[in-house]
Structure 1
Amino acid sequence: MVTGVLIDWGGVLTTSLSDSIARWIAADRIDADRYYTVMRELIDHAYRGGNGDNVVHALERGEIDGAAFERDLAARLLTVDGVPPVAEGLLERMFAGFDRVEAMYDMLRDVRGNGVKTCLLSNSWANTYPRDDWDDLFDAVVISGEVGMRKPEERIFRHALDLVGLTGADCVFIDDIEANITAARALGINGIHHRDAATTIGHLEGLLRLTLRK
């Protein structure tokens, strides 16, 4: 029986990253085709087993700070006016469209109230997390830039399991990136590939044998 929930933040406890990025592209007048070409190459390499590391690996492990990543990314991009976007504050503007998904927060309160261990497991992009109610939501918090490890690395999952004192088979991991789910399943962790709150909560109810708010 599953007795622990490991859960991502951006795109799971918040609205989707793609929606936030689309708003930023429009507001900053970014050349969208160039942006998606650049990011597809970086993300595919970072999450699908490319050789060596790139700036995404370094940012998520905290090996470079947000300002360094902003300068690197801005230099790769162009606005529709043919000039690089302003680097300073780029990440904050990219993520400004994130909103809390209250149904997911309600779910966490429900599962923790039923004695299920909860752990946030998030790859950070030098972003600020809204931590005001985290003591009520999580038994443990693992943020990649703070621990020097990142998903989908095996060691970050093992670190999270150690913090909640559970085995992989005891836990379910919820994330919106399939490569991270695949890595978790390789360690015996149940995986839910998040697409929307209602579907994820429905799958979780079956694993936990609980009725949860949707």
Structure 2
Amino acid sequence: MRGYSGAPTIEPVTVRGLIIDWGGVLTTPLRDAIAEWIEADDIDHEGYRLVMREWFAQAYAGDGAVNPVHGLEDGSLPPAEFERMLAERLRTRGGMAVAAEGLLLRMFAAFEPVEEMYEALRRARAAGVRTCLLSNSWGNTYPRESFDELFDQVVISGEVGLRKPDPEIFHHALGLLGLPAPECAFIDDIEHNIRAAEDLGIVGVHHADAATTVARLEELFGVSLG
């Protein structure tokens, strides 16, 4: 028993994979894009807030019920139908109807890429980290011309018929990367999605800003990403 410390030795797990969200992580914050759209389209903000609170509460309730957000994200509800349903619930500040056609495009028009996050992805991949985009799509136009440079795999919810926070979409991403959950980190700006990933053993990184997230990734991967 000579040298016994009284506690087992636990080897640290090497994180070799990175699963990352798009909107609000690789782009400027969603709240900023929505604020610009509300101002540009003269949307009644309180009306928008109420319908989104209702729909998101249903979408993340975990009771299996399908609502417009759930349907849009898993591809079972066409974007044009979502636009129609949302426009019916919205009004301008002057009480006028809101145009449904192109509504989603206008909502996200102010998204801008966050170069610090893009550079961190490039450096992580160059260091041998396997990368996967995992995005809940809202009919978005993605910058696919940059995907080959940034990602080993791409999972977009509406294209695979699954959505975060469902466990199946995380298992799908892990399978594509060929890595077990404890060897992967997952970045998202929605805490509910982070908790879902952590429940599967994935290392969660709740994104608030690029500097904090990149610093955490440097700790996990042991390489400079700035």
What's the TM-score, normalizing by structure 2? 0.93
SS at the partner of 2:158? helix
| Partner residue in 2 for 1:36 | 49
Aligned-pair RMSD on alpha carbons?
Answer: 0.9
Aligned mate of 1:118, from 131, 143, 148: 131
Find the structure with the greater CA-based Rg: 2
* Deviation at residue 186 of structure 1 after TM alignment: 0.4
| Partner residue in 1 for 2:195 | 182
Count residues with an aligned counterpart: 213
| Partner residue in 2 for 1:164 | 177
Q: Residue 6 of structure 1 contacts residue 174 of structure 1 at CA under 8 Å; is this kept in 2? A: yes
1:22-101 matches, within 5 Å, as: 22-49=35-62, 52-101=65-114
Deviations 1:67-94 (A, max 9, x none): 1000000001111121220000000000
| Partner residue in 2 for 1:197 | 210
Q: Residue 176 of structure 1 contacts residue 193 of structure 1 at CA under 8 Å; is this kept in 2? A: yes
Deviations 1:186-207 (A, max 9, x none): 0000000000000000111111
* Deviation at residue 51 of structure 1 after TM alignment: 5.5
Moved over 3 A (4+): none
Moved more, 50-59 or 1-10: 50-59
- What is the letter of the counterpart of residue 96 of structure 1? A
Deviations 1:20-57 (A, max 9, x none): 00000011010001100110111122124356110111
Structure 2 distance, partners of 1:96, 1:57, is 22
1:131 aligns with 2:122: no
- Structure 2 unaligned runs (5+)? 1-13
- Structure 1 unaligned runs (5+)? none
Deviations 1:137-177 (A, max 9, x none): 10000000000000000000000000010010010000000
Aligned mate of 1:151, from 164, 167, 171: 164
Q: Residue 48 of structure 1 contacts residue 179 of structure 1 at CA under 8 Å; is this kept in 2? A: no
Q: Share of identical aligned residues, percent?
A: 59
Structure 1 distance, partners of 2:122, 2:140, is 24
